[in-house]
A = this chain, B = another copy of it.
Amino acid sequence: MLPRAYEGQDCSIAGALGVVGDRWTLLVLREAFLRNHRFEDMQRRLGVARNVLTDRLARLVEDGLLERVRYQERPERFEYRLTEKGLDLWPVIVALMQWGDRHRDDGRRPMVLYHRGCEGEVDDRRMCTACGAALNPGDVEAVRDGARRRAMAPA
């Protein structure tokens, strides 16, 4: 844990890490960006312990990055959707992915982000490599190993 008081404390990087400075938290958010909004899907894909996932989801809701939305009445079922505050983390997630791609030992890119309907890719400033447009989450689809394209943004 970070101490309450240190010289470099008045810092928005430290503030951000206080909210998302945990690997599971960012991977849960990754799943939300990939439209996997439901507990069971997230749990299966992440292989995370249920109590850990429950904890991270509750914190993300409390911190206002996800909202819990009912999608079924009987029995009641809920899913987790990104708020504006959560969507604002997209640049962090894209930057982490691009750094990870660049420094992989195998030189592969497990997932590629395309400008939807354009064939250009998302460059390191989140601009389209083909048309130059400044891209936002809703403009982009994530393609894994040539599989069916998936939106990298919530519906």
Contacts and interface: CB of A to CB of B under 8 A. Distances in A.
A3 B43 CA distance: 13
Contact of A26 (B17, B89, B91, B134): B17
A100 B45 CA distance: 28
A48 B19 CA distance: 19
Interface residues of A, number: 56
B6 A45 contact: yes
Interface in A121-136: 124-127, 134
Contacts of A96: 12-13, 16-17, 20, 92
Interface of A: 2-3, 5-24, 26-27, 30-31, 44-48, 85, 88-89, 91-104, 109-111, 124-127, 134
Given A13-B96, A92-B92, 7 more contacts: A8-B31, A12-B100, A12-B101, A13-B27, A13-B97, A15-B100, A17-B23
